[in-house]
Amino acid sequence: MLFAETELPGAYFIDVEPREDERGFFARAWCREEFAKNGLEIEIAQCNLAYNHRAGTLRGMHFQSHPHAEVKLVRCTRGAVYDVVIDLRCESSTFMHWIGVELTEENRRMVYVPEGFAHGYQTLVDGTETFYQVSQPYVPEAGMGVRWDDPAFNIEWPPVDQRIISSKDQAWPDFTPAESLSP
């Protein structure tokens, strides 16, 4: 596996290293030893699957508050998404900065989202599926979010004819720095 820290300290892009032969290939998508060697969280509490019928579906920007803050490892197993993470750690030099990356079934890239970050994505094609490994169980009362179009972040989402967004994700209030995710 290839680990590349992004410009947001603690967030990583992780690529598989396929071992190919006449049958196809084999690659590790998660390895406790390699994650630990790179200083990354190795606890997995649950795995989640999200299926999206239509291109333009936007899920996010989500996180869980302390003491239930979670690390996420996200990949697209079918279709394609534009994946975004926002650094919400007030002590960070990249506080309120975001990065986006295309995750596809072809590139098999993963995003490691550390605690203190909001996460979301927009589907790029119909019939898209994402797979999450998370370090903490889902706790509904700890579920939080920031709005996908909040001017505090100015995220540049790919253009679409129609966005499909849940009413919950549309209703997050404007972000203020006092809402940061520092413990």
Q: Is 132 a catalytic residue?
A: yes
The pLDDT of residue 182: 56
Judge whether 62 counts as a catalytic residue.
yes
Report the pLDDT value the prediction gives residue 177, as an integer from 0 to 100: 81
**Residue 103 belongs to some domain of the structure:** yes
- The CATH number covering residue 81 comes to 2.60.120.10
In a domain, 11, yes or no: no
Q: Quote the domain boundaries for residue 69.
A: 43-179
The answer to whether residue 115 is domain-embedded is yes
pLDDT of residue 179: 60
Residue-level pLDDT at 41: 87
120 is a domain residue: yes
Distances (CA, A) of 78 to 24, 84, 176: 18, 18, 35
Catalytic, out of 53, 82, 132, 138: 132
Question: pLDDT, tens digit, for every residue of 133-164?
Answer: 999 999 999 999 999 999 999 999 999 999 99
**Of 12, 62, 68, 119, which one is the catalytic site residue?**
62
Q: What domain count does the chain have? A: 1
Low-confidence ranges of the chain (pLDDT < 50): none
Helix or strand or coil: residue 32?
Answer: helix
Model pLDDT, residue 180: 59
pTM for this entry:
0.93
pLDDT tens string 112-139: 999 999 999 999 999 999 999 999 999 9
Instruction: Specify if 164 maps to a domain.
Output: yes
Within a domain: 14 = no
